[in-house]
């Protein structure tokens, strides 16, 4: 059971918009700790997608955006493309556990 | 270009030991904090631990499942990060990734090295 809760799967057609939620608590996202997002394409290592809730590293398309509200964070992907099919993970720090934590991951399927 | 290359994975029996290495290039390794993250087959990501730069004290933090069994160290003269794993259990079977830690997130990742713990 992950400290950060993500839906196991989401799907969308090419060109559509999808969102992935990451629900935490007051000891992590709600406790003013930032949320970060990673993309893991099939058979590859994870890659940083969003840091500090809403910032994109250089090279990440602006189709990807992040936000945070209360104890939750969200990743939005607009203009869905086949190459976006991957697993997505959120991550934060948890003060109760005194460790960094990941969500369980969300598999995005492009229909 | 930042490159992180892990090595040292393999098959080991329960109770055995293994040392993973991560060769870093493309950035000033000695200044950066580093982390290890693992991923069991078909499962999600799990934080293993982190080491600060020597300038910031060089201290380490570990996830509860590995605390007391795993040790993270670094050799800044060789730009290399290590993960010494002792008393290995079958549940330690995973792909192990080293990563560049930066203000709470993992900026760059290696390609991973697979550790299989089985009799």
pLDDT in tens, B49-98: 999 999 999 999 999 999 999 999 999 999 999 999 999 999 999 999 99
pLDDT tens readout for residues A23-63: 999 999 999 899 999 999 999 999 999 999 999 999 999 99
Q: For residue B7, what pLDDT is reported?
A: 98
pLDDT tens readout for residues A67-78: 999 999 999 999
Handedness of CA A80, A83, A85, A87 (dihedral sign): negative
Q: For residue B31, what pLDDT is reported?
A: 96
* Chain B contact present for A99, CB below 8 A: yes
Residue B42 has pLDDT above 90, yes or no: yes
- pLDDT tier at A2, thresholds 50, 70, 90: confident
Q: For residue A17, what pLDDT is reported?
A: 97
Residue of B nearest to A58 (CA): B107
Residue A1 has pLDDT above 90, yes or no: no
Q: Are B97 and B36 in contact (CB under 8 A)?
A: yes
- Nearest 5 degrees, angle CA A46-CA A48-CA A2? 65
What percent of chain B has pLDDT above 70?
A: 100
- Nearest 5 degrees, angle CA B111-CA A38-CA B54? 65
- Chain A partners of B44 at a C-beta cutoff of 8 Å? 2, 89, 102-105
Running DSSP on this structure, what letter comes out for residue B118? -
Nearest alpha carbon to residue A39 among A27, A26, A57, A24? A57
Nearest alpha carbon to residue B70 among B38, B31, B118? B38
């Amino acid at each position: 059971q992950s400290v950060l809760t993500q839906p196991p799967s989401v799907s969308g057609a090419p060109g559509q918009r999808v969102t992935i939620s990451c629900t935490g608590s007051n000891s992590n996202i709600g406790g003013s700790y930032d949320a970060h997002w990673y993309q893991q394409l099939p058979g590859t290592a994870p890659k940083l997608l969003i840091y500090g809730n809403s910032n994109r590293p250089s090279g990440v398309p602006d189709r990807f955006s992040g936000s945070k509200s209360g104890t939750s964070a969200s990743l939005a992907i607009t203009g869905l493309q086949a190459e976006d099919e991957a697993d997505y993970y959120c991550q934060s720090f948890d003060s109760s556990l005194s460790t960094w934590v990941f969500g369980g991951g969300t598999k995005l399927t492009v229909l | 270009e930042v490159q992180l290359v892990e090595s040292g994975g393999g098959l080991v029996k329960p109770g055995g030991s293994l040392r993973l290495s991560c060769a870093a290039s493309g950035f000033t390794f000695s200044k950066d904090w580093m982390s290890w993250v693992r991923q069991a087959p078909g499962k999600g990501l799990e934080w293993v631990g982190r080491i600060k730069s020597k300038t910031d004290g060089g201290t380490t933090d570990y996830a509860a499942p590995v605390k007391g069994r795993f040790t993270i160290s670094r050799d800044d003269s060789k730009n290399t990060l290590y993960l010494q794993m002792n008393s290995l259990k079958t549940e330690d079977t995973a792909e192990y990734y080293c990563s560049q830690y930066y203000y709470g997130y993992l900026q760059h990742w290696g390609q991973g090295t697979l550790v299989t713990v089985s009799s």
